[in-house]
Structure 1
Amino acid sequence: MFSREESKQIREQFWIFFGKRYPRKWLLYDTKVKEINLKFSFDNQKAMVSFDIETRDEIFREFYFDKFISLKNLLKAEISDDIILEKDYLRSSGKIISRIYITKYEVNIHNKKHWPEVFEFFNNTMPKFELFWYEYQDIITA
């Protein structure tokens, strides 16, 4: 087990190393739609790339999620058959969001032997999400 401080340092190291290995500007929060973010996440059990639809307004969240649902076949064709669209995703914080995501299981941020595998997963998956956003953002936000 790691102390809270040790865990924090390991997480920081991971993101620093990832940034050095793949030094580019990722889209992430710069979707120009405050309710939709593109995210990387990595914890003790999994790594994930996702579109997160976060808003307190249920109507907006459902509106944007329905747009992604209408593009489901394209999401599967252009990103992966393994993509999951979850309208009511419960975050560890207790907040409910909508999430469109791909997960890599059986990896742990505290195990540095898993890092190259996750680096590769992020580097292969995130560009597909970004390209999808650039291609279909007008449909998603219309």
Structure 2
Amino acid sequence: MYSREEAKRIRESFWTSFGQYMTPIAGADGLKVNWINYKTGIKHLYFRMDADNKKAHIAIEMAHPDAGIRALLFEQFRQYQAVLEAELGEEWIWDEHSFDDYGKETARIFMELPKVSVFQQEDWPALISFFKPRIIALDSFWSDAQYGFELFK
């Protein structure tokens, strides 16, 4: 077991390494992208990556406080589901009623990688191989699809 400070240091080390690995990769629009803290330009809409001691996941998270607007966002993604999955090259899990770490209701579209730990450096290549193509695919999808979400700005 790691102390809170050790766990924080290891997580920061992984995300710093991942960020450095991704820095030379331009976004679909040819611009520099902060891959770790991806900006969708839509308030309460996030592309999130996380890893803990058991699994990793990447998600499109809709965290709007208004349940009706959150449902509309989710439905808008449903309209783009075929395009999204074609870009990703796989089907993701769609969960309209999820909860974040703080108990706040969200809607999520996500993929998980089980049986990996951010605390095991030997798992880092698997984590990077999991995150990299998916965040790049999300960026490519978002490059075109973002215009269908402008009413949520």
Tell me the TM-score normalized by structure 2. Answer: 0.85
| Aligned CA distance change for structure 1 residues 125 and 29 (closer, same or farther; 3 Å) | closer
Aligned to 1:53: 62
Residues 1-142 of structure 1: matches in 2 within 5 Å?
A: 1-24=1-24, 25-26=33-34, 28-142=37-151
- Residue identity in the other structure for 2:12: E
1:69·1:85 contact (CA, 8 Å) conserved in 2? no
Structure 1 residues 80, 96: CA separation in 2 closer, same or farther (over 3 Å shift)?
farther
1:94/1:85 CA distance change after superposition, 3 Å: same
Letter of the 1:31 partner, please give it.
Answer: T
3-state SS of 1:110 partner: coil
CA RMSD in angstroms comes to: 1.6
How many residue pairs match? The answer is: 142
How many angstroms apart in 2 are the aligned matches of 1:33 and 1:63? 13
Q: Which runs of 5+ in 2 are unaligned?
A: 25-32
Alpha-carbon distance, 1:140 to partner: 3.1
Paired residue secondary structure (2:117): coil
The percentage of aligned residue pairs carrying the same residue is: 28
Shift of 1:29: 4.3
The amino acid that maps onto 1:18 is F
Native 8 Å contact 1:85 1:99 kept in 2: yes
Secondary structure at the aligned position of 2:64 is classed as coil
SS in 2 for 1:85: strand
* Contact 1:39/1:50, CA 8 A, preserved across alignment: yes
Is 1:51–1:101's contact at 8 Å kept on the other side of the alignment? yes
Q: TM-score, normalised by structure 1?
A: 0.91
Segments ≥4 residues shifted beyond 4 Å: none
